[in-house]
Amino acid sequence: FVPFRRCLTKSAYLRAESAKLIIQRRSEVSEPESGYEPGGYHPIKPREIYNGRYRVLNKLGWGHRLVGRRYKTNMCLNSRNNNMAAMKVLTAKMSDPAKRGGWDELSVLKRLSPSDVSASSSSVGSQLIAPSTLSGSEHVVQLLDHFTHTGPHGDHTCLILEAMKLNLFELYQAYPEHIPLHILKRVCVDVLKALEYIHQRGVVHTDIKGDNILLSGSPVDTASKDFTLSDVFLSSTTFKLSDFGVANIMSNRFAEIIQPEALRSPEVIIGAPWDTKTDIWNFGCLMYEFARGACLFDPRWELERSGMDIAQTHLAQMTGLLGDFPADLIAQASKAETYFNKDGTLLVGHGRYDITLKDLLGRAGHPSDAIEPLADFLNHALTISPEERWSAAQLLEHHWLKECNSSI
């Protein structure tokens, strides 16, 4: 099948003569006004003070992944230590245990902190949490503080998080084709360390994408149209996994449909049990995109022409690239009869695609001797069988990453 270019146009480019990357910020789309209702967003204004110490500076963004799962994020200044931080204010509905379903970002962040946080703090006094120093935790955006704020639309959980410079998707968009492999190796090492850390603590992220991988550094004024990044910065920044708003705990995997559509794992699509390995698939798809400059799968490719639906197209692309589904995985799938013949082949789309990762990566313009080790690395992350798919710890030992030191 034909690999797809990124959906958005390139927003910046690399000036070789200055060895600096020019980053242009995406125009921010405002949150819907309909969200300002009982149970919805809290109205936030610049210069307002929250919890007696956090002065709002400017808006960073907002989120609406699933119905009712909404938040707003603002840059703020802690008046007690003069440090910058990001304040994520959940909607009142997502702050109410009786209404938010199984989603509980605060509890997940507490689980990922080495500090013992026994209870949520009030708007009068909050518990400050020291940034983690445990191995791996430095690659997860840390919860610094939390409190509840009462507003016109209800009570809102407020999360105070590390302030970061920009996200990985912005960096990717700045390159004319793809992220250079020496930078991508650093991304892989840092994100895999984050995944190893959260998986050891029983957390599945379920939403790994460029927007949710952040680069450490002094925050950039959101009023700035563009800014530059030097090679020195890109060689020293830390890449951190963020946004645990739709994370699941292994002991309570309540969500049936998870992950961005094109990055969704095979076990989730066919209704088989999923665990931490579903994050690894998500990671593999994303790292391929950054290395190739194109999405690996496009489940919406030629739907009208093929007569196939989204899931059928996605599964056909998977098998055309990676081989048939193993019988033991199909046996666990609640949707096995929907997608598979009795011999394990696809009911629709079998044999429609035929290509390899090595073939696709060869089109990216990388040096020929770089293709095979990269393809091997990604193949271990993109194994259809979750049991045979490598863990984060195993991928960190792959020879493709051996030349990379995340501190260089």
In this predicted structure, the answer to whether residue 337 has a pLDDT above a threshold of 80 is yes
The length of the chain is 408
- Per-residue DSSP letters for 259-310? S-GGG--HHHHTT----THHHHHHHHHHHHHHHHTEES--TTTTHHHH---H
| CATH 1.10.510.10 intervals, the chain | 164-407
- What is the enclosing helix (H) or strand (E) of 215? strand 213-215
| CATH 3.30.200.20 intervals, the chain | 39-113+136-163
Task: Summarize the confidence of residues 296-301 as an average pLDDT.
Answer: 96
In tens, the pLDDT along 153-167 reads: 999 999 999 999 999
70 pLDDT band, cuts 50/70/90, is low
CA 264 to chain centre: 12
Whole-number percent of the chain with pLDDT over 70: 85
Which CATH number describes the domain made up of 39-113+136-163?
A: 3.30.200.20
Among 237, 239, 251, which Cα is nearest to 213's? 239
In tens, the pLDDT along 276-289 reads: 999 999 999 999 99
Assess contact for 284 and 265: CB atoms under 8 A.
Answer: no
Crossing angle of helices 368-381 and 181-200, rounded to 10°: 20
The domain over range 164-407 is classified in CATH as 3.30.360.10:
no
Q: What pLDDT is attached to residue 26?
A: 62
Q: How far lies 44's CA from each of 9, 37, 81, 88, 154, in Å?
A: 31, 14, 22, 11, 14
In tens, the pLDDT along 197-251 reads: 999 999 999 999 999 999 999 887 666 667 888 888 998 999 999 999 999 999 8
Task: Summarize the confidence of residues 178-192 as an average pLDDT.
Answer: 96
- What is the enclosing helix (H) or strand (E) of 5? strand 4-5
Q: What pLDDT is attached to residue 133?
A: 44
Place of tokens 């927007």: 211
